[in-house]
Amino acid sequence: MRFIRDWRHAVSVLLVGLPLAAGLTPTGAAAAEVNVYTTREPGLIKPLFEAFTKQTGIEVRATFVQQGLAERVAAEGRNSPADLLTEADYGSLINLAERGLIQKIDSPILNTAVPAALRDPDGGWYALSMRARAIWVSKDRVSDQTLTYEGLADPRWKGRVCTRAGQHPYNIGLISRMMVKTGAEATGKWLAGVRANLGRKPGGGDRDVARDILAGICDIGIGNSYYVGLMRSGKGGKNQESWGNAIRVILPTFADDKGSHVDVSGAAVARFAPNKDNAVKLLEFMVGDEAQKIYAEIDYEYPVKEGAKIDPLIAALGKLKIDPEPLTAVAARRKEASQLVDKIGYDN
């Protein structure tokens, strides 16, 4: 084995013709490693990998790919070094499954830890953490204690709403779910109503919404739950702490009062994973108690595992009620939602 590795290094140096072999080794199967392609930001996911390595001795090599993860894996084909693919939203997970880039696994550990609604019915992908798409309001200027997503289109918010781009996956997810609930036409009306209420052009990130609320540009906006933890914890610096403290977080429901829009991050084992066993081990580790705790404490996400502890900053937001529409149904409307955003001209 060792010989083969060295030999392959030599060939790669010869073929590539660049003095890169030392620093950038071509990847391949090794005894104790697992390769991860992730659209999850490394800062959010790295602590997990470190814990995994500590526990198992298996080295995790992760590459953060923002877009094109699926395209890259597809192009690499049979020789892809990827073992585990992690994605930041369920739409991408479903996309991976539809394109046949992942493989089914049968793991009792995973099946027990992850509730059925939060994993691929076919055994492909598994959700690892959750976050709610919350409504943020100005602490000082808004007194409402409960709000619905539909309420964002209420004319009383005219000129007071801030969001990131409508085409961002976080918003596409919410709009898709609205479509599942109310149909395309009503969702179009709703989205046009929200657009009419905008206080500024959609753009930036969720945290910009909090900052703009602090600045008085808006009074109400949409943002993911974990950002509240990140801001309020002071991990992003003093400024962000002040943004986080300018808002009050409402975990809204749809008009049917069933629950909040929740998106998941998740992972799946790549179809041609060279280290499949290690990938499964890592995946199992990620739904274990220690990892779920890290998700909660470092990333301020909701653990998928029943009974895992939620970080106090997030727990303080109130009890999360999860909207029961199945993720697959929501994902099916994504393309339509995206076209709706275009039609309404939400981002223009």
| 107-115, 144-152, 265-273, 337-345 -> range binding other proteins (CB under 8 A) | 337-345
Q: Check: CB of residue 85 under 8 Å from CB of residue 276.
A: no
Please report whether residue 202 would count as binding other proteins according to CB under 8 A.
yes
Q: Whose CA is closest to 152, among 190, 204, 201, 208?
A: 190
| 115-123, 166-174, 286-294, 316-324 -> range binding other proteins (CB under 8 A) | 166-174
Judged by beta carbon, residue 21 or residue 196, the one nearer other proteins is 21
CB of 109 to other proteins, least distance (A): 26
CB of 249 to other proteins, least distance (A): 16
Q: Please report, for the chain, how many H helices and E strands are present, in that order.
A: 14, 10
Q: Using CB under 8 A, which of 58, 147, 194, 230 touches other proteins?
A: 230
As beta bridge partners, residue 115 has none
And the tokens for 327?
């993720």
Q: Using CB under 8 A, which of 52, 90, 136, 227 touches other proteins?
A: 227
Judged by beta carbon, residue 3 or residue 106, the one nearer other proteins is 3
- Residues 134, 139, 142, 146, CA torsion sign: positive
CB of 42 to other proteins, least distance (A): 5
CB of 240 to other proteins, least distance (A): 8
Q: Using CB under 8 A, which of 168, 232, 248, 281 touches other proteins?
A: 168
Please report whether residue 184 would count as binding other proteins according to CB under 8 A.
no
Q: Using CB under 8 A, which of 6, 41, 289, 306 touches other proteins?
A: 41
Return phi, psi of residue 128, to 5°.
-115, -30
Query: In angstroms, rounded to a whole number, what is the distance separating the alpha carbons of residues 308 and 237?
Result: 28
Q: Using CB under 8 A, which of 57, 75, 106, 185 touches other proteins?
A: 75
| Residues in Cβ contact with 335 at an 8 Å cutoff, skipping those fewer than 6 apart | none
Please report whether residue 236 would count as binding other proteins according to CB under 8 A.
yes
Query: In angstroms, rounded to a whole number, what is the distance separating the alpha carbons of residues 114 and 91?
Result: 18
Q: Using CB under 8 A, which of 53, 72, 107, 110 touches other proteins?
A: 72
Please report whether residue 61 would count as binding other proteins according to CB under 8 A.
yes
The 92-111 site mask, x for binding other proteins (CB under 8 A), equals: ---x----------------
And the tokens for 93?
């997970």
Please report whether residue 241 would count as binding other proteins according to CB under 8 A.
no
Q: Whose CA is closest to 267, among 134, 124, 142?
A: 124
Q: Using CB under 8 A, which of 207, 261, 281, 333 touches other proteins?
A: 207
Query: In angstroms, rounded to a whole number, what is the distance separating the alpha carbons of residues 52 and 283?
Result: 10
Please report whether residue 77 would count as binding other proteins according to CB under 8 A.
yes
Please report whether residue 139 would count as binding other proteins according to CB under 8 A.
no
Please report whether residue 167 would count as binding other proteins according to CB under 8 A.
yes
The 248-287 site mask, x for binding other proteins (CB under 8 A), equals: ----------------------------------------
Return phi, psi of residue 181, to 5°.
-80, -45
| 27-35, 100-108, 148-156, 308-316 -> range binding other proteins (CB under 8 A) | 27-35
CB of 72 to other proteins, least distance (A): 6
H/E run at residue 136: strand 125-138
- Pairing type for strands 33-38 and 84-87 reads parallel
CB of 237 to other proteins, least distance (A): 5
Query: In angstroms, rounded to a whole number, what is the distance separating the alpha carbons of residues 183 and 104?
Result: 33
DSSP state of 79: G
DSSP symbols for 212-229: HHHHTS-SEEEEEHHHHH
Q: Check: CB of residue 162 under 8 Å from CB of residue 156.
A: no
Judged by beta carbon, residue 123 or residue 204, the one nearer other proteins is 204
